[in-house]
Structure 1
Amino acid sequence: MNIIIFSVGTQGDVRPFIALGQGLQNKGHKVRIVSGKTCEALVRDNGLEFAELSADFLEVMAKDPRALQRGLNPFALMSTARHHLKTMAVDWAAQGLAAAKDADLLLGNGMVAVLANSLAEALKIPMVETHLQPVTPCPDIPPMMMPPPKRPRSGTANMLLYTVLRSVTWQMLSPAYGMVRRELGLSALPWYGPYYRIKNKDRRILYAYSPSLLPRSAAWPQGIQVCGNWFFSEAKTWHAPEALQAFLDAGEPPIYIGFGSMLGDDAEALSKIIYESLRRSGRRAIIATGWGGMAPPKGNADNIHVIQAAPHDWLFPRVAIAVHHGGAGTTAATIRAGIPSVVIPFFGDQPFWAWRLAENGIAPPALNRKALTPEVFAQAIGQASMSSMQDAARAMAGRINAEDGVARAIDLLEDWEFLTPTDESQASPAAIKAVLDPSLAESA
């Protein structure tokens, strides 16, 4: 089968789908990922087809770094997001049709789930939603885009907040998708958006986060499932630069500090606070500058090593603590490695994942970027260094590493009859050998 996956954003929004795509290819299916051009090499280098969708979020953040500050407030973000998304979506109908021309199944993630759904409607093919964070209303999980509650809210309050946030979300998306649907020859979506057109019992949604970190809501119907993380692994093929390996070998496991694809307007100020705290403590640290969320230190310091980036599944098992932004992928990588986190959120779902880490005892409460001081940062590092938090992180790693999110997702797609069994000519080499020689079946 030809499976086309739509996901845009940073690399953290695409890496899980490379893992899922590779799993699907191992089952004999053909997979194409549709995303922004900045992810093209990543997709192609890992053996999957790529199709471009105009969605350069690095360019957006570079031109408008204050969008990240507004991103912690969904209401303040609305007008900015409406403008950027409408500009991006000018070519989405044509690009989407070209990418999906030979598709048997579409998967649509996050903000482009509506695009995939509209294409599926136009092409009359099936579509399944995917998300990296919970967005389906329920009384027992607080809405992900709101500040986490200091104490549990009532189910009624949570459901009311979901209704408000769905309205806000559709106000952000509707100008872009009104244009897309007109170009696809489809009727306009209602003023309240697409969310109530399909009853929850008829929806099919795959969530790619760990049920150990956040259990599935008891209120969701069976068509909405939490699979576990779709981990894209690079550790076995990545070779560390000599300087990085030498730094790791030279002393105790360091602290990792990096904010991935976050690019705020306060990188210099934030970095200065962190470097001052490290200077006072003498703690060893690896600084990952990423897209610019951390500035390199001024001058040399024996206790600091600077890199641009390194695969989390290689680096995190070699560090003691990870200081990060709380993105879904980075959060999952810290848990998988069995290390505590210190989270400084920038945007969107990051405060939510920081809250889940703290609720599970594997991170102190999230730090406010605007109120951070060297003393506050040092205190959080001290909490994450405590044996109780280290033990809790190792215990959580045992649970998450027992999950196989990719296999679970594929099983569900087969159970729901979106995937059909593949014949021998499409199967992987190991599977073909097993068919030809049954004695190899167990090893295959």
Structure 2
Amino acid sequence: MQICVVAIDTRGGVQPYAALALGLQQAGHRIRVVAPEDFTGWLIGMGLDAVPLPGRMDDAARAAAQTGFSRGVVPKGMREQLVRQSLANARALLDYADGSDAVLGGIGGAVLGLDVAERLGIPLVHAHLHPVGAVSPALTGVLTPWMPPWTGAAGNLIGSAITESALTLPFRAVSRAVRTEVLGLPRRRSRPSSARLSVYGFSRHVVAVPATWNVTGYWFLPEEQAWTPPAELVTFLDSGEAPVCIGFGSMVSGDPAATARTVTEAIRRAGVRAVLLTGWSGMSDIAASDNVLVIDQVPHSWLFPRCAAVVHHGGAGTTAAALRAGVPAVVVPHGVDQPFWAKRVAELGVGPRPLPRPMLSASSFATALRTTLADDGMRARAARLGELISAEDGITAAVDLVSRGLTRTT
């Protein structure tokens, strides 16, 4: 079966879809991955047929940071740009997906994938990294982690409704433009089918959702057997106690120099050793020292288990990697879904209270580091959760669900 996998996200969000694509390919399906152009070389290198959408995700992340899109609202100034980019993406996706038996995508992929699949007369497989896709009193809203616990089922119903509206309403104008200008479809979509195929790439040990949902466990890439750690990293890890890993992934800071100063001072106050992953955050201004190693990026599956704790931004993919590693996490959420994952980490007892990015200071950061490293119970809970997550085989479960589901619908 020919499946077009649409992965429109940052690196941490594309990686689980790459893992699922490899699993589907190994099961005998013909796979094409459609992703932003800055990821296609990486995807091709792992043996996938990958084709580029116009534009780079790192450029989009910088633009989003400058206009406030990271807070989950599409600013007025970005709307026309979003429509233009979506029209270009839709034209490319329509061409790439032609001849496929199905399109597969999550929040980012489904925005375009649903309309393109309708135009081609093929099903869309909803493959999500988050608990989204329904309004339910049993479902916590991903975009409403601030909802007080005492609101119970009513709060869940309100929160999940707010989340679903926030994930769909801002893109209705985009969908209408794509449908009429590119796909030749009616402006409005027909009512979605209740029989749609949905799979979820997270763990029930982390998020409680209705028992009827197809939750498979996380979608992790296989270990990179050919990858060799830099000699300087190995030397640093071997030269003292386990360090803290600090990295904010694809989150672009408006003032990277200020972020660098905050991180440096917190490391000094906490008296810890640290590996700093610069990523897209622009923190490369931090100078290496006997206690700090600055490096661009390292496979999380290799580095995280070798650290005493992980400090990250709370993206779905990075949260999954940190939880599987079995070490405590200090989460500094920047926006969108990140406060939700940060709250789950704290509620599970595998990390301290979140440190929202606007409230981050050297003092609060240092306190969180000291508290985390001194908490034996937190460390034990993190190790146990890591074992439970590692025991799941999310790829095999997802491949089986997708294969059986598409056999019934095509």
Q: TM-score range by the shorter chain?
A: over 0.9
Partner AA of 2:127 in structure 1:
T
Supply the distance in 2 between the matched residues of 1:235 and 1:253 (Cα, whole angstroms): 22
**Runs ≥4 residues deviating over 4 A:** none
Q: Deviations over 1:214-250 (max 9, x none)?
A: 12224xxx4x411111001344321111111110111
Counterparts of residues 279-298 of structure 1 (less than 5 Å): 279-298=268-287
Q: Which residue of 1 aligns with 2:299?
A: 311
Q: Which moved more, 1:108-117 or 1:322-331?
A: 108-117
SS across alignment from 1:65? helix
Q: Which residue of 1 aligns with 2:186?
A: 187
Supply the distance in 1 between the matched residues of 2:324 and 2:166 (Cα, whole angstroms): 34
Q: 1:44 to 1:147 in 2, by over 3 A?
A: same
Q: Tell me if structure 1 keeps the 8 A contact 2:205–2:389.
A: yes
Supply the distance in 2 between the matched residues of 1:405 and 1:388 (Cα, whole angstroms): 28
Q: Tell me if structure 1 keeps the 8 A contact 2:284–2:294.
A: no
Partner AA of 1:286 in structure 2:
V
Supply the distance in 1 between the matched residues of 2:77 and 2:241 (Cα, whole angstroms): 44
Q: Tell me if structure 2 keeps the 8 A contact 1:322–1:340.
A: yes
Deviation at 1:80, TM superposition (A): 5.2
Counterparts of residues 260-409 of structure 1 (less than 5 Å): 260-298=249-287, 300-385=288-373, 386-409=375-398
Q: 1:2 to 1:171 in 2, by over 3 A?
A: same
Q: Which residue of 1 aligns with 2:54?
A: 54
Q: 1:151 to 1:247 in 2, by over 3 A?
A: same
Partner AA of 1:52 in structure 2:
P
Q: Deviations over 1:68-112 (max 9, x none)?
A: x5523x3x4453553442131122332112111120121022122
Q: 1:127 to 1:64 in 2, by over 3 A?
A: closer
Q: Tell me if structure 2 keeps the 8 A contact 1:322–1:339.
A: yes
Q: Which residue of 2 aligns with 1:124?
A: 121
**Aligned partner (choices 149, 160, 168) of residue 151 of structure 1:** 149
The answer to whether the aligner puts 1:205 opposite 2:204 as a matched pair is no
Q: Tell me if structure 2 keeps the 8 A contact 1:209–1:229.
A: yes
Deviation at 1:406, TM superposition (A): 0.7
Deviation at 1:120, TM superposition (A): 1.7
Question: Quick one: percent identity of the two aligned structures?
Answer: 35
Deviation at 1:174, TM superposition (A): 1.8
Supply the distance in 1 between the matched residues of 2:169 and 2:74 (Cα, whole angstroms): 11
Over aligned residue pairs, what C-alpha RMSD do you find? 2.1
Deviation at 1:57, TM superposition (A): 2.6
The answer to whether the aligner puts 1:242 opposite 2:231 as a matched pair is yes
Partner AA of 1:238 in structure 2:
W
SS across alignment from 1:323? strand
Supply the distance in 2 between the matched residues of 1:294 and 1:54 (Cα, whole angstroms): 27
Q: Which residue of 2 aligns with 1:88?
A: 85
Supply the distance in 2 between the matched residues of 1:283 and 1:168 (Cα, whole angstroms): 40
Deviation at 1:285, TM superposition (A): 0.3
Q: Deviations over 1:396-433 (max 9, x none)?
A: 0111011111111111123324389xxxxxxxxxxxxx
Give TM-score scaled by structure 1 length: 0.86
Partner AA of 1:184 in structure 2:
L
Partner AA of 1:206 in structure 2:
V
Q: Which residue of 2 aligns with 1:166?
A: 164
Q: Deviations over 1:302-327 (max 9, x none)?
A: 10000000000011111110000001
Q: 1:330 to 1:152 in 2, by over 3 A?
A: farther
Gaps of at least 5 residues in structure 2 are none
Counterparts of residues 8-27 of structure 1 (less than 5 Å): 8-27=8-27
Q: Deviations over 1:112-135 (max 9, x none)?
A: 213222122111122211111111
Supply the distance in 2 between the matched residues of 1:79 and 1:297 (Cα, whole angstroms): 35
Q: Tell me if structure 1 keeps the 8 A contact 2:312–2:329.
A: yes
Q: Which residue of 2 aligns with 1:133?
A: 130
Q: Which moved more, 1:104-113 or 1:33-42?
A: 104-113
Partner AA of 1:122 in structure 2:
R
The answer to whether the aligner puts 1:217 opposite 2:205 as a matched pair is no
The answer to whether the aligner puts 1:103 opposite 2:100 as a matched pair is yes
Deviation at 1:367, TM superposition (A): 0.3
Supply the distance in 1 between the matched residues of 2:151 and 2:269 (Cα, whole angstroms): 40
Supply the distance in 2 between the matched residues of 1:306 and 1:162 (Cα, whole angstroms): 40
Q: Deviations over 1:33-79 (max 9, x none)?
A: 01110110111001111122225331123345334x5523x3x4453
Q: Deviations over 1:133-187 (max 9, x none)?
A: 1112221232111243342433233323433443343332122211211121111
The number of residues matched between the two structures is 407
Q: Which moved more, 1:94-103 or 1:368-377?
A: 368-377
Q: Which residue of 1 aligns with 2:111?
A: 114
Q: Which residue of 1 aligns with 2:70?
A: 71
Q: 1:80 to 1:71 in 2, by over 3 A?
A: farther
Partner AA of 1:56 in structure 2:
R
Q: Which residue of 2 aligns with 1:439?
A: none
**Aligned partner (choices 414, 417, 439) of residue 403 of structure 2:** 414
Supply the distance in 2 between the matched residues of 1:240 and 1:126 (Cα, whole angstroms): 42
Give TM-score scaled by structure 2 length: 0.93
Partner AA of 1:45 in structure 2:
G
Supply the distance in 1 between the matched residues of 2:325 and 2:360 (Cα, whole angstroms): 26
Q: Which residue of 2 aligns with 1:433?
A: none
Q: Tell me if structure 1 keeps the 8 A contact 2:304–2:327.
A: yes
